[in-house]
Structure 1
Amino acid sequence: MNVETILADLVAVPSLPGTPNRVMTDCLRDYLAGAQVTEIPGPEGDRFNLFATIGPRDVPGYVLSGHSDVVPVEGQDWATDPFRLTRDGNRLIGRGTTDMKGFLACVLSMVPEFAAMDLRRPIHVALSYDEEIGCRGVGHMIARLPGLCAPPLGCIVGEPSDMRPVLSHKGKQAIAITIEGQAGHSSNPALGVNALYPAGELLVWIRDRAARLATEGPFDPRFDPPHSTLQAGVIRGGSAVNIIPDRAVIDIEVRSVPGQAPQEVTAEVLAELHAVAARSGVRASSAEFSSYPALPPPEGDDLSRLLARWTGQEPLAAVSYGTEAGLFHAAGIPSIICGPGSIARAHRANEFILDEELEACRRMLLALSAEISAPA
């Protein structure tokens, strides 16, 4: 099947995270003809993962993993319709071409070729939803894998890496902190409880804790920066200057090096939150809205050596962005990142992928299938 045609169909579906994905799922399923396909619903009831197998299910094989959702385009200055694939020379432009429908198109284009081969080991295709808002969908699929296939030998997550195998990434947790005081008229502040002041105390503490992470570690020189990070990214509170604000919400994010779970740092933040709340007479709560574990460096080099051979590129030790690979690894499946396109183009206006990048991905997939095919 033609990769560009498939990519055009995928781009035409505005598969935004947090929305029903039946149209996207049906499109993907159409290109999985010849595979054994299982639809795995999420708890939302209107979103689904797909897990497909080509070859024997009862022996260990390899997982090709990708997410089908894309980030929104609002506020971006696109030269073309972002949900219509547009060719400009060797560039294919559209939302998701790099992150990561280009990889999905390559995989789907190979399904008929995989199905025609006498595979000694299976190739599994794992297609998830809502990755862009915290890897929310894939966990429901990973939980079902023991009943769907033999324990996989490895998982290739096709996030854009310039087709260079990537061995590790940081973990992440993002939470919303809510502080509730008591509203009142600003003419007598003593009759209310201003939620912004304890929020300000907590923000100063977060700033200082982030600085200590930079100076005290733990450190991992493979990353830039080589330590875990903590930051407050959004604060919301107050409605008018003459009303005592009774509510403040702070969104914070931790990105942690392997060996330090992001939850360790957020637990410190929450302990300080409750201390501040007790001193200030406010109520405090928190809710996680994004989380995934780090992908630590592999314990062995079997998968990285295979990917180096299949791509012709030496592995890269680590990247700063996160992926679903950490979740596959946490489930006991050796995982690596390798996909077409550059992460520098992801989430931006006029996102594009190159013809030669798609072809390089197909060559890697063909090398994988040749590796596990029976001799002629």
Structure 2
Amino acid sequence: MDYSNRFGVTADDQALADAVGRFAQAELAPRASELDRTESSVTCHVKALAELGIMGMNIDECWGGPGVSPTGMLLALVEISRACAATSSMIGAHYLGTDAVQIAGDDAQREAWLPRAASGEWLAGFALTEPLGGSSPVDMRTRAVRDGDYYRIDGVKQFISNAAEARFLVVFAKTDPEAGPRGVSAFVVDMQTPGVSVSSHEKLMGIRGAHAFEVSFEDVRVPLNCRLGAEGSGFRTAMKVLDNCRLDVAATALGLAQAALDAAAQWVRERKVGGEPLATRQGIQWMLADMKLRLEASWALTLQATALRAEGRNFTQQSAMAKLHASEMVGFVTDAALQIHGGYGFTRDLPLERYVRDARILRIYEGSSEIQRTIIARGVLA
């Protein structure tokens, strides 16, 4: 797609989007339906994605990243999401884990974990959510107890993407159970460590190829040098990481919505009722106009937040607005596209029903719509 008229997009960003778009349409799109139907893992694409530099786009060049801008990374994820939202989700989970190491780790930790993650040799994940307390630090039950040069971690995490194939997870655990959010610490846990066990993948409604798991930690001994930052700094790390990842979710929504809008536009040009294309009907035109309007508003919010990120400025509120608007927008656009297709849209022969299912999770993970509204309101009242 041509992004050259969008705010902040450079020639290098466009060139990256073109390259990723060609790959996504040639390699990801043809397999998306089958991977969804069989619930096969989209990690089958990791090697090819890594060859394009995609697995390390969020990582600084000194640690093996390809040196792309935040805007270039956004466009690349949009192109991937146009072809396969599950693949974009898998990449986003990998970015969560590697972002945490890059943000909170020291140079020795970054050198130990990031280059092989950037190359695609190692897959990463992010273990914050729990079965009973969600992502609330107050209700977190996973514990990390200091034992000499080690911590012993015990607990259970839920809906952890990539866990079965990840080499490492960034795990959040209470080191001071009485301190609330200030008692949470972050640890890089090698998934080959004894005591780590992973369930079979969850049976998801959408993004079925982006597998999520329950992960149990039973007396898992983690070296002291695998703690990221000081004790008690883990929740602050998680919030910084989620600021970044919410833009990845917005990118997924933008790409998925564009795919649905493109499908609807093509359908109404070709589908005839009473001898006339559906595109001649004002009601259909107005539906397409509303879809496009909401999509463009999400683009504006997302690019604004991305520009602030690129400048190193605080973008917490802008990231929350982008994620909220885009994730709710894509629900509207995919549903409208299915409606335009009528009964055919409700069949599995076309991708519309998959688009609707894939879009639904975007209002839930990496902070629900309700959480985003709380973050936005907090900024208004500050």
TM-score grouping bracket, smaller chain normalisation: under 0.3
When normalised by structure 2's length, the TM-score is 0.27
Q: Which has the higher helix share?
A: 2
Q: Which has the higher strand share?
A: 1
When normalised by structure 1's length, the TM-score is 0.27
Q: Considering only CA atoms, is the larger Rg found in Structure 1 or Structure 2?
A: 1
